[in-house]
């Protein structure tokens, strides 16, 4: 099976795997950021944790661009 693959195919497969790994690392980073830095005085922590956990990369990107700047502006962290 692998005898039919050339350098181009290995490059494509490696690129796809690298993007998947980078997306997962980013997702874990946003999940940890949400759990550790969101204030526990509101329900935002639970809501954003569920959004990030259940929607993977889309939720992590939404958190990065929507909630994280607002949290930093309000709480400084």
pLDDT (tens digit per residue) in 40-71: 877 888 999 999 999 999 999 999 999 888 88
Residue 22 CB: number of other CB atoms within 10 A?
11
Q: How far apart are CA 62 and CA 3, in angstroms?
A: 42
| Average pLDDT value for the chain | 89
Q: Tell me if 12 is assigned to some domain.
A: no
Q: Is-above-0.85 flag for pTM?
A: no
Q: Is residue 7 part of a domain?
A: no
Structure tokens at 75: 């709480």
CB distance 67 to 59 below 8 Å: no
Q: Is residue 4 domain-resident? A: no
Domain membership flag for residue 44: yes
d(C-alpha 56, C-alpha 13), whole Å: 21
HSE toward the beta carbon, residue 64, CA cutoff 13 A: 12
- Number of separate domains in the chain: 1
């Amino acid at each position: 099976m692998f005898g039919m693959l050339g350098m181009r195919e290995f490059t494509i497969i490696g690129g796809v795997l690298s993007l998947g790994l980078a997306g997962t690392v980013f997702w874990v980073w946003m999940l940890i950021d949400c759990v550790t830095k969101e204030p526990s005085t509101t329900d935002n922590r639970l809501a954003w944790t569920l959004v990030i956990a259940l929607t993977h990369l889309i939720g992590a990107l939404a958190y990065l661009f929507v909630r994280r700047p607002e949290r930093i502006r309000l709480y400084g962290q």
